Amino acid sequence: MATHRSCALWSYCGRRWSRVMRCCRLPGFRSSWPRGPLGARHLSQEKQATETHFGFETVSEKEKGGKVYHVFESVAKKYDVMNDMMSLGIHRIWKDLLLWKMHPFPGTQLLDVAGGTGDIAFRFLNYVRAQHKRKQKRQLRAQQNVSWEEIAKKYHNEEDPLGGSRVVVCDINKEMLKIGKQKARAQGHKAGLAWVLGDAEELPFDDDKFDVYSIAFGIRNVTHIDQALQEAHRVLKPGGRFLCLEFSQVNNPLISRLYDLYSFQVIPVLGEVIAGDWKSYQYLVESIRQFPSQEEFKEMIEDAGFEKVTYESLTSGIVAIHSGFKL
Amino acid sequence: MATLLRSALRPLRPLGGRRGPAADVPLRGVRHGAGLLYPGHIPTSPLQKALLAAGSAGMSLYNPYRHDMVAVLGETTGHRVLKGLRDQMRKDPEGAEILQERPRISLSTLDLDKLRSLPEGSLGQEYLRFLDVNVVISVSWDRALRRNLHSAQRVSPDTRAPTRFVDDEELAYVIQRYREVHDVLHTLLGMPTNILGEIVVKWFEAVQTGLPMCILGALFGPIRLSAQSLQVLVSELIPWAVQNGRRAPCVLNLYYERRWEQPLLALREELGITEPPAVHVRGPA
C-alpha cells in the first residue's frame, strides 16, 4: 500500500521522473503502456487490457486511433509551418541526417510510413536523383575517347532520372496525404512517387517488398507500436533496413529542464496563436513524453525480429534515429 | 515512508509553476472534467498567459480576421478588470440578476420568430435586422483548417468562441457575456460591422469596461485605416463614443433578454446615448 502511494507521489512530481515511474509498474498504478509481450501485461493485472495513453490521458485503444486521426486532420494544413516554428527549423536538419544515414542509392525501394506531408520522400527523391547524376558523370569521365554523339546520347536517354528508385508514402490520414500531394506538385516531383492510404499496424503490402522502411515522427502516434514494428519486419526484404526518426529522451538534465519548459509552456501557445489549435499541440508534447527511451525502443525493435539494432541521439537526445536490419 | 519521499523530492520540484502545472500529470486528470472550472477550460501558467497575450496581440494585428486571437487576448489580459466588472455587476440589481441567472445570447436561446414579430423600432427587431444586414467576410479558422474556406459569414451570436483561458468560472461568464453583448452594442450604437464601426464600438467598450483588450484594440485598430477614415474617426466618432461611454451606465448590467420589446430609442435615452453620427463607408476603410 505504501509503495503504491509513493508511486502516485512520484507521478505527481512531473514527467521528468517518468523513467522512474516506468520502473514503478505496480498493479493499480497508471494503466497501460503499449509494451512488448512480457512487459506491463504481466505486472498490471488489475488494468483493463484495452486501455492506452493519448498524451497524458487514458483512453481505450479503440478511441486512440480516432483521436489521433482527428489531431492530424486539424493540424495538416499548418503542419509544416508549425514544425518550422516549433523546432526553429532544426527538424529539417534531423530529416537530412536521416537521409544521410539511409544513404540510398539508385534502385532503392523506400517505404515511408506516416510520411503524410512527404518530407522524407522528397528528400529521398532529391538524394537519389543527385546520386544518379553523379554516377552518370563518373561513368562518362571513366570512359576514354568518347565521341560527342555518345555523350549526347547518354544525356538524352534519360529514361529514369532516379535510376530505378521508388518511394511509397503511406499514411493513415487523408488530409496529410492531400497536403503531401499538393507539395509534390508544387515542387515538381512526379516520377517515382506513390501515395497509399494505410495503417502502419496493418500495411497493405506484400511480404519482402522494400529495401528501406522509414518512419519519421510517426511511430509514437501508433496505438500498437509492436504491431507496427512487426509489420515493418514483414514488408522488408531480407537485408532490408528499418529506420526510425523519433523524439526521445534527453540525456542532459539541464537541457531536459529547458526542453520541458519549452515544450509545455511555449509549444501549445504557438499552436494556439499560429494554428488556432491548443489541444493538438498539447497532445503532441505529451505523446513525446509517453514514448519509450532510446534503450527501451531498441529492445522493442529487437523483439520484432530486427538485428544489428543501433541508435543515434541527436540534439542531446531530443530526437533519436534507430536503425535495424532484417537479416 | 510517503512523507519521507515527499520531503526528498521537494527540493527537486520545478520552480514557481514554470513547468506548467497545466501540463503535468495531476492537471491532466483535470482535463476530464474532474477539476476543470467550466467546460472548455484550459488551465494555463502565468508564463503561458504572458506568451499567449503577446502572441495573440501580434497575430491580431498581423491578421485582423483572426477573431479568435482577439478573444484570447481579452481572456489572458483581462483578469483584474473582469474582477472589477463582476463586483460592479453584483452591486447593480439588474447586473446581479444576470450573474445569478447566467443568460446566454445564442441562436439556440434566442426565439427568432418572436423577435421578428416584435414591433418596428424595438430592440429585438433592430438587433435581428442588424444580424441579417451585416455580412462579415471572415476566415473561419476552425473550419478553414479542415476545408480551406474563406466563408462569407453572417454575423451570428454563435461566432463568439467559448472562453478557455480564464481561471475563474464566474469571470469566464462575465467575459462571455461581454462578447455576446458586443453585437447588441453595435445595434445600440448604430454602428456597422466594418472596421470603422468596430473601432468606434471598441472605444465605447474601452471607456465602459476598461478591458486591456478593448484599450489595445481601440488604440491599435486605426493603424490600418486610410487617412480620410482616420480623420473622420478622430474628429467625430471617437469623441462621440468616449462621451457616451462615460455618460452611460455599464452596458453589461442590462438584462437584454428582458428588454427585447423596449423601443431602441427609449433604451438609448435611458442610457444617455445620443444620436450616432453617420459612418460613411467608402470602399475598404
Residue A8 inside a domain? The answer is no
Given a contact cutoff of 8 angstroms between Cβ atoms, the answer to whether A296 and A107 are in contact is no
CATH number of the domain enclosing A322 = 3.40.50.150
Amino acid at A164: G
Residue A241 inside a domain? The answer is yes
Cell numbers 487514458 correspond to what residue? A58
Residue A106 inside a domain? The answer is yes
pLDDT at B160 (0 to 100):
64
Given a contact cutoff of 8 angstroms between Cβ atoms, the answer to whether A41 and A34 are in contact is no
Neighboring chain B residues of A276 at a CB cutoff of 8 Å: 66, 68, 141-142, 145
Residue A244 inside a domain? The answer is yes
Chain A interface with B: residues with Cβ < 8 Å: 2-3, 5-6, 9-15, 55-57, 73-78, 175, 257, 260-261, 263-266, 268-270, 272-279, 282, 285-286
**Virtual CA dihedral for A267, A272, A278, A282, nearest 10 degrees?**
0
Amino acid at B167: D
Residue A292 inside a domain? The answer is yes
Model pLDDT for residues A252-284, shown as the tens digit of each residue: 999 999 999 999 999 999 999 998 889 889 999
Domain count for chain A, please give it. 1
Contacts (Cβ under 8 Å, ≥6 apart) of B182:
B160, B201, B205
Confidence tier at A198 by pLDDT (50, 70, 90)? very high
Residue A43 inside a domain? The answer is no
Residue A44 inside a domain? The answer is no
For the cut 70, the answer to whether the pLDDT of residue B93 exceeds it is: yes
Nearest to A52 by CA among A65, A42, A39: A65
Model pLDDT for residues A86-125, shown as the tens digit of each residue: 999 999 999 999 999 999 988 899 999 998 899 999 999 9
Contacts (Cβ under 8 Å, ≥6 apart) of A23:
none
pLDDT at A22 (0 to 100):
46
For the cut 50, the answer to whether the pLDDT of residue A190 exceeds it is: yes
Enclosing domain of residue A107: 75-326
CA–CA distance, B177 with B105 (Å, rounded to integer)? 8
Which H helix or E strand runs over A156? helix A148-156
Distances (CA, A) of B273 to A155, A202, B248: 81, 68, 7
For the cut 90, the answer to whether the pLDDT of residue B162 exceeds it is: no
Model ipTM value: 0.73
pTM: 0.74
Model pLDDT for residues B214-224, shown as the tens digit of each residue: 888 888 888 87
Contacts (Cβ under 8 Å, ≥6 apart) of A169:
A112, A115, A116, A118, A121, A177, A180, A193, A194, A195, A196
Residue A69 inside a domain? The answer is no
Neighboring chain B residues of A269 at a CB cutoff of 8 Å: 48, 51-52, 55
